[in-house]
Structure 1
Amino acid sequence: MDECSATKSTSLETLVIQNISNVKELKSKLSEIIKKGKDYEFDVSSCVKTLIKSNDQEIVFLTVEAISELVKCDEKRRTYSQKEIISPILDILQKEITTENAALIKQCFRALGNLCCDCDSSRKIILECGGVPNIINLMKKYFSAHSQLSMYAFKTLLNFAIGGQEFTNAMVDGGVVEMLQMVVIQELEKEEIDEEAVCALLSLLSLINENDTEILYSDEINAGVLKVLTNTADIDVSELCLDILHAQAEHDSVKTLIAKHGGIQVVCSRIEQLMQKFDHGELDADQSDVEAILKQACDLIVIVLTGDEAMHILYNKGLGEVYISMVKWLEHTNYHLITTGVLAIGNFARQDDYCAQMMDDKIYDKLLDLFDVYVSFGVQMQKEHSVLHPIEPGTITKIQHAILSALRNLTVPVANKRIIAAQGRAAPTLLGALLSVEDHHVAYKLLAAIRMLVDGQESVARLLGRHKSALRCVARWGHAGEYAGAAGEAPRLLAWAVKLLTRGPYWHNIVEVDGCISSLVNMLVASHSLMQNEAILALTLLAIETLKNISPSSEHPEFDYEKSFISQLIKSEIGKHVSILVDTNCAKMPVEVAENLLAFLDITSKKNKLALDYKEAKVTESLKKFAESRQDLSEDLKNCITGVIAAISDNGKD
């Protein structure tokens, strides 16, 4: 049938319906439309607008049911998405629910739900007509008496909410959250919850949170969702509960609530049950579904542990069920559980006294054992290249990253540093790993873990100073500007090591290995004054050692450290970096940083080549501006600035 014929046929069908005077025949015609539903070929929307306002309630009922069936078709949905159709349906929903009209109310919800399915125009008409509060108020009033009817209302609201933030915001303003809280409480009071109703309300809560990530539900709702998770055996319901709790756990108060209510113990137990059932073939679920819920549950454990109060509750002096489970998971075969266990330990290790206890419990050793395993996996994977490795590269990287974070945290307390350094295993392991790590996220954590271990431990700093291959790796990451984390951590490691290495010949390799000096020079223009100061101090200490005009090292008599140091400083554009440092921090540079910088310039400006580089980079002009712009400088410091300017001018000769 061509378009013209179809239009004529539609017009004829409309005319036929409009001219039916016999009520029985009209009901029969509506029943025919309902039966054909989305396959009914004619557009009779103009007739529907009239029939829905009929005084005959059966005609109204059949008309609304016909709309419900017709708009299951995408094309017809757009046709019937009209205010003249939707508004009368909403008017019906403002009436009291009685035995006589309950079936009609049900059809109204069905019609609205189908009209809203992937159709923003219908949703906007409902908004315009103020329909959302009507639906919500009806549910508040009649849910307990008409729970089956309310399921249709839930589905209507779900189809409405899927439209996005504009629609979920209207629902929140209309009181949907309060209504859902009431429903959650009522359902949990029953001996057996209605999982279909609970699944619908959980879906609504999840959608609302998805569109408004800042929304914080009441304790009653979150505790209710947790209770549903505890009681349900349904995977879909469990997944919805975890989704809501994960989103809500962005708020510290919810992390604490989950911890206090035993939520993480429940999640740990459910994870272990889920895996046991899946391994024994007792679950009617695909592996991908099990993986998804497993990941979601593990993510919830980790995010709750990032809350300080929650972490203390779950550690419980090292006796907490969750803490014990996490330690046990370090030896699990499932990668999700291993990663979760390691991340959990890293979070518990934010507390110094917990770190000391975990060190006594040999947790550091367990993590180091695990790191050895996954470093070897990484090396094996790199060698095999195209050969399919049994573990995904992303999994290897994620576990390495997590282990290094935990190791770094456990190394923060001074007492732990001493123990780890004295044991003598960690430093060689971590320095050796530098040679094989390729992922910049892992490199960042590895460099940070080594730096924390170097802190105050001369024996560890000496190991680094002697390890040329490791120093080359540090220098390489120090110049990986596209990876800010690793590029920022590498020179800090060098700077911390230099503080401990200048008591002996152990600094030699830092001057010899290409890239180490330039990494420190680059750190002069870091965004944080702490890092700037670390770079200045390290360069000053190296300058003191290398510019003493002493004879070459007995170990390397052929190597001229002074010449190399000066050459590397110039190659790294030391003058340009100093000018940028002073110019960009003129007003905010701490006085102690300025004092250290002037000490470095005082030593190095005595060397002609360096003084010439400073002069060409206009360091003297930058220092003059600095002195003139600061009122908080002492006379001694001003005199020092004057002296450095004079030294640069006197020594910087072609």
Structure 2
Amino acid sequence: MPQVDHQTRPRRQYRKWRKVGRRRARRQQAAIARQAIPLVTTTEKPENAEHAKQRKIWEAKERAYDQIVKHKKALEAAKMAAIAKEPSAETFGQAQAALDGQKRTDEKASGEMCPLYASTGACRYGAVCPRVHAIPTSPTRTLMLPNMYSGLPYKFSDEDLEDTLERDEQDIAEHLATWTRTLLDKLRQYGDVERFIVCKNRAPHLQGSVYVQYRNTPESVNARDAMHGIWYDHKTTLCEFIPDLDWSKAICEDKRAALGESGAMAVLVGFLKSVCDQFKDQNASPAMQTLDDVEQTLRAIGNLCFDHDDNRRRLLDADGVRPIVDVARNRESRIARAACGSLLNASMSCDEAQNSLVECDGIKVLLEVEQPEIQHIVVNCLSNVMDTESGSQNVASNELYRPMWRKFLAYGEADSEDLVDEAQELSALMVLLVQECGAKLEIRNQILTGTLLNEIMQTAEENPWRRLIDVEGGESAKDIAQNIIKIIGCVLEDQDIEDLQRERSYLVETIFRWLQDESFAGRTDLPICAAVTLGNISRNDRASSRLVYEHEIHRLAINKLEGTEDIGLQHALLGLLRNLSLAESNKPLLAQEHAVKVAIPYLQSRKDMLQPIQASAIGLIKNCCRRNIISARDFLTADDDGMDGLTLLIELANRTEEKALKVEGYRTVSIVIKTVWENDPVETLPLRQRLMEERVVRAMMQLVIVMDHPLPQNEGILALSLLLVENDREGAFSPNEIREWLRVNAQLTEKLEATVKDDKSPKEVRSNARQLLQLYT
């Protein structure tokens, strides 16, 4: 609040004295006019010397001020008279167009964007601006009410005083605060206001303009429809959509920097520290004036810290994060909103502020904030700190994953659909904690040792967000279901199925029930969750073997893969089969079920838009064909439609631009070559004939040339060597022909010679490269 100079006090007393005297005189004159009472001369207290002195001084100042105003009015009148003699606006516009019209036309045609409009949503040149204004063609979240606030005039007419008096800065600030609070309350009727700004820029196109940004577009549309064209504050309002602005560029930077340098941050933090004891108790009820002061203080801190690293540093130097966290405990919605907003702005892209927030138990406090209307701020603030190592360690050490899950469930239990986006963001944070962070193993153990995993699986089965999947904006609901699947899969990753059956038989039974999908017809999220979870468990060879030999999970997965059209379920089932095929003991049973034949159709060109699925299919074929001639035969033998895996895989590897997919395709062919050559030459003669073709040889040459990693490069070298040492057989290409293809490829020779000379390459790879050179040169 601005301080009042002590010199203004006598002036106010003088005004009060004049006001009392005029009112008394008016009453007496009115009585005389009505002849109701005679004129009575009242006996007044004698004016003391100090008052008389001040009265004379201020009477002199009032006369001087009146002379200044009179002089200003004369200057304005002279200026208006001069303007009246100038050419009209139309004439002036025509003259200017004649001078630079061609230039404006060329600039307009060039499509140069107007930087003024791009940064503030308004331009001082208006419609005649030579640059392009990117006016939104559809509703946005941000509205602008041009020149909405007229301000309180420096001089005003008071009906009681019937005189013209000055208003000081305190009166103007109080008027602005009242006007702002009234308009903001009205705008909040139409939605959740994320940002509200009254522009103090004195430029005519910006002065008094109001910017308001809602949380989503439907809310801004409702506000625009309600506010546009109404009579408000003695004027007709205009309300228009503008592009969603970069507020860091729109808000003037110099004033915030100056405020920070002036020591304002330390003063604000000092005030918070003086009152924060009243807010540590959630049920505390501080005085209304204290609440107002705290709210404005928090807003000031948030504005100073927004995209301003220096002011964030000043906040940290003043130890200002802790009192903000203490204040955020209060159940008063506006206080919690202002506190969370300050923490959000302070911790945005600032590691020190994020660590300070964690040290002050900020994560726990944020999880305790219950007001629905500020949950989006809470989740964004949590997102800032969860990316740090200290944030994940804090969740693990304080066992905060369960409170986080409770908060997530509260979003689903709410009747309002507005919290679905917050639920999606919070579920993504929980996935991050169990999937990537440094404390993921500790958090997983906490989930496993208690009852939380049962609650998570029960939530996956009930899924309170399913009702929103088929409505507009249902993508967030779909993401929530996928995130729950990821959480369960990560927690059970590398777990032994035997231990789970012994200690948590309910979990295993539930997973198998989901995959069989007997009780949940029409739902794919539960089978996907079961497939992903079993796929993670099967990374352990022992658990993988038990799943195949005891539960025959491979047969169930193959049957379900052949009968589903759901892309997500296809991806999950192929991933499960690929992990099952990693264990050497599982390959005979997978070969008996012809798992390779199930994967081959996903190599067709019509599946190219599903590269993750194609990658899983290639991985399954590669694992199954390694040292298993039955699967290799399935891969090389054409089906009834004339489609064989070799042709489809080489075509896929040749046409794809994804290097990883290309290399894995070529590696799979090299593994098939090695598997065929390890078996009896007579029995595998038809398979060898299929592999001794030019397209296969060129694929192996590409594997050697493209790859820098020694393992796949060595696989290509070995495959070419095996093709070269094959004896001449009827119907097959001659090794001499293959030798000629290799000899004319200069890139292959150059790469092999470089490998032989490279001391960093493994000794085995250099030896194999030298031997291949000797075979064809």
Q: What's the TM-score once normalised by structure 2's chain length?
A: 0.57
Q: Could you report, residue by residue, the CA deviation over 1:170-205 in whole angstroms, capped at 9, with x for unpaired residues?
A: 5435445533366479x6xxxxx9565995895365
Q: Secondary structure at the match of 1:415?
A: helix
Q: C-alpha separation between the residues in 2 aligned to 1:501 and 1:153?
A: 73
Q: Displacement, 1:136?
A: 4.3
Query: Which of residues 163, 167, 178 in structure 2 aligns to 1:35?
Result: 178
- Asked if 1:17 corresponds to 2:196, the answer is no
Whichever residue aligns with residue 772 of structure 2, its letter is F
- Asked if 1:523 corresponds to 2:666, the answer is no
Q: Secondary structure at the match of 1:130?
A: helix
**Per the alignment, do residues 364 and 119 of structure 1 end up closer, same or farther by CA in structure 2, a change over 3 Å counting?**
farther
Q: C-alpha separation between the residues in 2 aligned to 1:111 and 1:530?
A: 64
- The equivalences for 1:57-68 within 5 A come to none
Q: C-alpha separation between the residues in 1 aligned to 2:627 and 2:503?
A: 28
Query: Which of residues 545, 548, 561 in structure 1 aligns to 2:734?
Result: 561
Q: Secondary structure at the match of 1:255?
A: helix
Q: C-alpha separation between the residues in 2 aligned to 1:303 and 1:355?
A: 16
**Per the alignment, do residues 305 and 184 of structure 1 end up closer, same or farther by CA in structure 2, a change over 3 Å counting?**
same
Query: Which of residues 586, 591, 597 in structure 1 aligns to 2:763?
Result: 591
Q: C-alpha separation between the residues in 1 aligned to 2:306 and 2:327?
A: 28
Q: Could you report, residue by residue, the CA deviation over 1:594-618 in whole angstroms, capped at 9, with x for unpaired residues?
A: 333343334x24xxxxx2xxxxxxx
The answer as to whether partners of 2:265 and 2:301 remain within 8 angstroms in 1 is no
Q: C-alpha separation between the residues in 2 aligned to 1:318 and 1:435?
A: 44
**Per the alignment, do residues 480 and 198 of structure 1 end up closer, same or farther by CA in structure 2, a change over 3 Å counting?**
same
Q: Displacement, 1:329?
A: 2.8
Q: Secondary structure at the match of 2:391?
A: coil
- Match in the other structure for 1:620: none
Whichever residue aligns with residue 290 of structure 1, its letter is A
- The equivalences for 1:625-636 within 5 A come to none
The answer as to whether partners of 2:604 and 2:648 remain within 8 angstroms in 1 is yes
Whichever residue aligns with residue 259 of structure 1, its letter is L
Q: C-alpha separation between the residues in 1 aligned to 2:271 and 2:166?
A: 27
Q: Displacement, 1:158?
A: 2.5
**Per the alignment, do residues 361 and 441 of structure 1 end up closer, same or farther by CA in structure 2, a change over 3 Å counting?**
same
**Gap regions ≥5 residues in structure 1:** 21-25, 46-73, 188-192, 378-394, 606-610, 612-654
**Gap regions ≥5 residues in structure 2:** 1-79, 81-123, 125-146, 157-163, 184-197, 203-246, 279-283
- The equivalences for 1:210-249 within 5 A come to 212=388, 215-216=391-392, 217-219=394-396, 220=398, 221-229=400-408, 234=413, 236=419, 239=424, 241-249=426-434
- Match in the other structure for 1:94: 273
Q: C-alpha separation between the residues in 1 aligned to 2:429 and 2:598?
A: 41
- Match in the other structure for 2:571: 401
- The equivalences for 1:123-134 within 5 A come to 127=312, 129-130=314-315
- The equivalences for 1:384-399 within 5 A come to 396=567, 398-399=568-569
Q: C-alpha separation between the residues in 1 aligned to 2:270 and 2:167?
A: 24
- Match in the other structure for 1:419: 589
Q: C-alpha separation between the residues in 1 aligned to 2:647 and 2:509?
A: 40
Query: Which of residues 417, 421, 431 in structure 1 aligns to 2:600?
Result: 431
- Asked if 1:300 corresponds to 2:487, the answer is yes
- Asked if 1:370 corresponds to 2:520, the answer is no
Percent identity, aligned pairs only, is 13
Q: C-alpha separation between the residues in 1 aligned to 2:331 and 2:676?
A: 76
Q: Displacement, 1:492?
A: 1.9
Q: What's the TM-score once normalised by structure 1's chain length?
A: 0.67
- Match in the other structure for 1:384: none
**Per the alignment, do residues 372 and 111 of structure 1 end up closer, same or farther by CA in structure 2, a change over 3 Å counting?**
same
Q: Displacement, 1:164?
A: 6.8
- Report which of the two structures shows the higher radius of gyration computed on alpha carbons: 2
Q: Could you report, residue by residue, the CA deviation over 1:531-552 in whole angstroms, capped at 9, with x for unpaired residues?
A: 222222222221111xx3x4x4
- Match in the other structure for 1:537: 718
- Asked if 1:501 corresponds to 2:676, the answer is yes
- Match in the other structure for 1:208: 384
- The equivalences for 1:134-173 within 5 A come to 136-138=321-323, 147-149=330-332, 152-163=334-345, 165-166=347-348, 169-173=351-355
Q: What is the root-mean-square deviation in Å for CA atoms of aligned residues?
A: 4.5
Whichever residue aligns with residue 661 of structure 2, its letter is A
Whichever residue aligns with residue 331 of structure 2, its letter is Q
Q: Secondary structure at the match of 2:725?
A: helix
The answer as to whether partners of 2:671 and 2:715 remain within 8 angstroms in 1 is yes
- Match in the other structure for 1:443: 614
- The equivalences for 1:216-365 within 5 A come to 216=392, 217-219=394-396, 220=398, 221-229=400-408, 234=413, 236=419, 239=424, 241-249=426-434, 250-251=436-437, 252=440, 253-274=442-463, 278=467, 287-306=474-493, 308=494, 315-316=500-501, 319-330=504-515, 331=517, 333-359=522-548, 360-365=550-555
Q: Displacement, 1:44?
A: 13
Q: Secondary structure at the match of 2:755?
A: helix
Q: Could you report, residue by residue, the CA deviation over 1:331-354 in whole angstroms, capped at 9, with x for unpaired residues?
A: 353343333322212101101121
Query: Which of residues 415, 430, 455 in structure 1 aligns to 2:626?
Result: 455
**Per the alignment, do residues 133 and 568 of structure 1 end up closer, same or farther by CA in structure 2, a change over 3 Å counting?**
same
**Per the alignment, do residues 582 and 476 of structure 1 end up closer, same or farther by CA in structure 2, a change over 3 Å counting?**
farther
**Per the alignment, do residues 588 and 111 of structure 1 end up closer, same or farther by CA in structure 2, a change over 3 Å counting?**
same
Q: Displacement, 1:407?
A: 0.7
The answer as to whether partners of 1:86 and 1:125 remain within 8 angstroms in 2 is no
Q: Could you report, residue by residue, the CA deviation over 1:240-296 in whole angstroms, capped at 9, with x for unpaired residues?
A: 6534422322232223322333333212211322359739x9x99974553343233
**Per the alignment, do residues 269 and 313 of structure 1 end up closer, same or farther by CA in structure 2, a change over 3 Å counting?**
farther
Q: C-alpha separation between the residues in 2 aligned to 1:200 and 1:278?
A: 21
Q: C-alpha separation between the residues in 2 aligned to 1:343 and 1:452?
A: 18
Whichever residue aligns with residue 179 of structure 1, its letter is D
Whichever residue aligns with residue 417 of structure 1, its letter is K
- Match in the other structure for 2:750: 576
**Per the alignment, do residues 91 and 434 of structure 1 end up closer, same or farther by CA in structure 2, a change over 3 Å counting?**
closer
Q: Secondary structure at the match of 2:686?
A: helix
Flag the structure with more relative contact order, 1 or 2, with Cα contacts below 8 A and sequence separation at least 6.
1
The answer as to whether partners of 1:495 and 1:520 remain within 8 angstroms in 2 is yes
**Per the alignment, do residues 521 and 176 of structure 1 end up closer, same or farther by CA in structure 2, a change over 3 Å counting?**
closer
Whichever residue aligns with residue 349 of structure 1, its letter is S
Whichever residue aligns with residue 712 of structure 2, its letter is M
Q: C-alpha separation between the residues in 1 aligned to 2:446 and 2:551?
A: 29
Q: Secondary structure at the match of 2:360?
A: helix
The answer as to whether partners of 1:242 and 1:297 remain within 8 angstroms in 2 is yes
The answer as to whether partners of 1:318 and 1:324 remain within 8 angstroms in 2 is no
- Match in the other structure for 2:100: none
Q: Displacement, 1:452?
A: 0.9
Q: Secondary structure at the match of 1:588?
A: coil
- The equivalences for 1:610-625 within 5 A come to 611=777
Whichever residue aligns with residue 167 of structure 2, its letter is I
The structure richer in helix per residue is: 1
Q: C-alpha separation between the residues in 1 aligned to 2:285 and 2:734?
A: 99
Q: Secondary structure at the match of 1:334?
A: coil
Whichever residue aligns with residue 658 of structure 2, its letter is Y
Whichever residue aligns with residue 565 of structure 1, its letter is I
Q: C-alpha separation between the residues in 2 aligned to 1:490 and 1:108?
A: 67
Q: Displacement, 1:124?
A: 6.0
Q: C-alpha separation between the residues in 2 aligned to 1:353 and 1:577?
A: 41
